[in-house]
Structure 1
Amino acid sequence: MTDAGSTTQPSRFDVDGVGLVYEDAGSGAATPLVFIHGWTANRHRWDHQFEHFAKSRRVLRLDLRGHGESDKPVERYSIDGLAADVLRLLDDRGVDRFIPVGHSMGGMIAQTLALAHPERVERLVLVDSVSQMVYSRSRGLVMTLSKSVPYNTFVAINIQRAFKPGYPKELIKQYIAASQATPRHVVMSCYDAMRGFDVLDRVREIQVPILILHGRHDIQFPPAQARRIAANCANAKVEIIDTGHECPVENPQAVTDAIEAFLAEG
C-alpha cells in the first residue's frame, strides 16, 4: 500500500502552536516541487512521485493540519488557512519559488497559493481537482448520509467511491482505515470549506503553465470539471488517466510520467 510510508525521515514544524509533520528531501538547482494531499488523506498519497523526483530536485510534502500525523485542533478549517500553513512551512524552509502539485482538496490549496502569490509559483499541477465545487446528485446523497450513519461508515462509502471499479479491495480497505483516522470535526469542516470553494472566474489570472491530470472514472469530481478549468486558462492542458479519483495511487507511474514530461517542457 502506498500510504505505508517512505524512506525520508519526517520532521515537525510549529504554526502558532499547531504541529505539522513534513518531509523535505532532494536537492538541485531546479525549482522545488511541493506535494499537497487531499481530503482525509495524508502526505503518503505522493510516495511514488515524492521518491522519484527527490532523485533530481528538492521536494517537500506535509500532512495538512488535521490530517495524518499533524495536529488536529478543533477549529474551523478553511482552504485559505490550509494554504497559509503550506506557505508558512515553505518560508521556514527557505523556499521562495516553487511548483505546487495538489490532489483534490490539495489542488484547491494549490490554486489558492497560485492566485495569492503568483510571483512565487512557477508552474502548477492539479490532480483530480476543481476550481468550483459542484457535486453530482449521488455525492450530495452521500453527504446527506453523513448525518444519519456512523462516521466510519460514511468515510468508508466516500473512499470506496473514489477508486475505479476493479481496484484491489484489500488496498481500498487500507485507505479507508487511514481516512477513518481523520477526526470527524476535521472531515466535516474541510468538507464545508471545499463546498464553498469557487475560483472558476479567477483561474484565468493564473498565467503560468498548468497541467491538469484527471481520472477518467472519477465520480467524485467528473472529468468535465477539469475541462472547465482548462477552458478558463490560457496555459492549461488536460490529460485524462484511466483511473478513478485517486490518480496518484491508482496509477502512480502515469502521474509521475506526466509530471516529468510537463517539467521537461521548460
Structure 2
Amino acid sequence: MPQLEVDGARLTYDDEGPREGGGVPLVFVHGWTADRHRWDHQTAHFSATRRVVRLDLRGHGESEGSGRRSIAELAGDVMALLDHLGLERFVLVGHSMGGMISQTIALAHPERVERLVLVDSISRMTYSRARGLLMAASTLVPFRLFVEANIRRAFAPGYPRERIRQYVRESAATPREVVMTCYGAMRDFDVLDRVHEIRVPVLLVHGYHDIQLPLSQMLRMAKEYPDAQVRIVDAGHELPVEKPEELTALLEPFVTAS
C-alpha cells in the first residue's frame, strides 16, 4: 500500500480508479479510532468509474505517528496528501471526526472543494450528560473500557454483537495517546458560526439513532448552511458500516452531479 511521510508521521492511503474522464475525485475521511476501511463499500462502488482517495489518519489503522491536538492539524495532514497527489479540486466525504476535518478544509481551501458530504458529523461539539460523564471517566477507567463504552454506544439497537466486538477490538488497537489527543481535538472543535461561509453544495447524512453526535445537533448545523440537503437514515453513528448500501445510494446522485 502507498505511504507518505508527513511531519513525523507515515500516512497509509489508497488511490484508486481512473485518472481521466470520471469526474472530480472523491476523498473519503474516516472518524475517531476508525480507519480507511470504513469506506470499503463506497470505494468499491465509486472507484469503478472515478478516482477515489482514502487514508488512515495518523496513528489510526496502518498509519503511524502521534496524535494531533487540533482538527486543523489533522486537516493539514489530509491536505499534504492531496497536494502530494496533485488533486486541485475534489469532493470531500467525511464521517464523524472526518466530517469535522472536511469542514475545516472547506473553510480553509474553498477554491478546491467541489462538494461536501458530512456523515454523522457536526460543526460544534456539544456533550450530552452521558458523553460528559464518559469524558470525565476517561482518566479513571482502564483505556480499553473507555474505548469500548464509546464504540458500543455508537451502533443502533439490534446491530450484530460480534460485529460490534470487532470494531471495539480495532478501535482499542489505536494508540492511547492518539485516541485521547484526537478526543480532545473534537472537544475543542467549533466552526458553527462559520459554516455559512461554505457556499458549495453540502449533503448531510445522519443516523436517526445516533447518540454520539445527536440528530438535533446536526439539524442545528444544517440551518446554517446556505446550500444543504439533509437525509436521515435508520442507523446509529456508524452509518458507513451499519447501512453501507443505503449510504452509497444516497451519495451517488449527489457526487455524480459534480
TM above 0.5: yes
C-alpha contact 2:240 2:247 (8 A) present in aligned 1: yes
Match in the other structure for 1:38: 31
**Alpha-carbon distance, 1:143 to partner:** 1.5
Give the Cα separation in 2 of the matches to 1:14 and 1:89: 9
SS in structure 1 at match of 2:13: strand
Which aligned pairs between 1:98-113 and structure 2 lie closer than 5 A? 98-113=90-105
Match in the other structure for 2:4: 13
Do residues 51 (structure 1) and 49 (structure 2) align? no
Give the Cα separation in 1 of the matches to 2:191 and 2:68: 20
- Per-residue displacement from partner, 1:206-241 (whole Å, max 9, x unpaired)? 000000000000000111111112100110111000
Give the Cα separation in 1 of the matches to 2:182 and 2:8: 20
Unaligned runs of at least 5 residues, structure 2? none
Which aligned pairs between 1:100-139 and structure 2 lie closer than 5 A? 100-139=92-131
Give the Cα separation in 2 of the matches to 1:256 and 1:31: 17
**Alpha-carbon distance, 1:263 to partner:** 2.1
- Per-residue displacement from partner, 1:112-140 (whole Å, max 9, x unpaired)? 00000000000000000000001111111
Give the Cα separation in 2 of the matches to 1:178 and 1:120: 33
Identity %: 60
SS in structure 2 at match of 1:13: strand
Unaligned runs of at least 5 residues, structure 1? 1-9
C-alpha contact 2:68 2:74 (8 A) present in aligned 1: no
SS in structure 2 at match of 1:162: coil
**Alpha-carbon distance, 1:196 to partner:** 0.7
C-alpha contact 1:83 1:112 (8 A) present in aligned 2: yes
Which aligned pairs between 1:59-208 and structure 2 lie closer than 5 A? 59-73=52-66, 76-208=68-200
Do residues 236 (structure 1) and 228 (structure 2) align? yes
SS in structure 1 at match of 2:193: coil
Structure 1 residues 104, 72: CA separation in 2 closer, same or farther (over 3 Å shift)? same
Q: How many residues are paired up?
A: 256
- Per-residue displacement from partner, 1:13-48 (whole Å, max 9, x unpaired)? 111331100000001330000000000110001000
Give the Cα separation in 2 of the matches to 1:131 and 1:45: 21
Give the Cα separation in 2 of the matches to 1:161 and 1:133: 17
Give the Cα separation in 2 of the matches to 1:211 and 1:134: 21
Give the Cα separation in 1 of the matches to 2:138 and 2:164: 20
C-alpha contact 1:102 1:126 (8 A) present in aligned 2: yes
SS in structure 1 at match of 2:192: coil
Q: Residue type matched to 2:12 in 1?
A: V
Give the Cα separation in 2 of the matches to 1:264 and 1:23: 21
Match in the other structure for 1:3: none
Which aligned pairs between 1:208-223 and structure 2 lie closer than 5 A? 208-223=200-215
C-alpha contact 2:36 2:61 (8 A) present in aligned 1: yes
**Alpha-carbon distance, 1:76 to partner:** 4.5
SS in structure 2 at match of 1:122: strand
Q: Residue type matched to 2:28 in 1?
A: F
**Alpha-carbon distance, 1:111 to partner:** 0.1
Structure 1 residues 42, 76: CA separation in 2 closer, same or farther (over 3 Å shift)? closer
Give the Cα separation in 2 of the matches to 1:147 and 1:93: 39
